[in-house]
Amino acid sequence: MSDDYYASYVISHDTALTAVAAAVEEGARQGIAVTASVIDPTGALIAFAKASGTAPDSEQVSRRKAQAAVAAGRPSGWIPDEIAITLPLASGNFL
């Protein structure tokens, strides 16, 4: 493989729909209203689900959290508490 290319993994639409449905179902099982977004490596939305009872801005928060995970190349839960507390301040309350 040339140094001009890199591998990228893309989730199918069907798999993304399954993932967001599973997130909403698990949230319901735990009594938590969940919003879930799946994006591709470019940040384009592939699938989205929002359970009843979520916050009005949860759609933006969910998508931006997914975009931050893609940008960092890490799962969205990796952010240490010290940094996570400052994210709302730095992002105008969007993260």
The pLDDT score that the predictor gives to residue 65 is 87
Residue 39 DSSP SS3: strand
Q: Tens digit of pLDDT per residue, the chain (95 long)?
A: 556 766 667 889 999 999 999 999 999 999 989 999 999 988 899 999 999 998 888 898 889 888 888 888 877 776 666 666 665 555 555 55
Contacts of 55 (CB under 8 A, 6+ apart): 35, 61
Q: Are strands 45-50 and 35-39 parallel, antiparallel or unpaired?
A: antiparallel
Contacts of 30 (CB under 8 A, 6+ apart): none
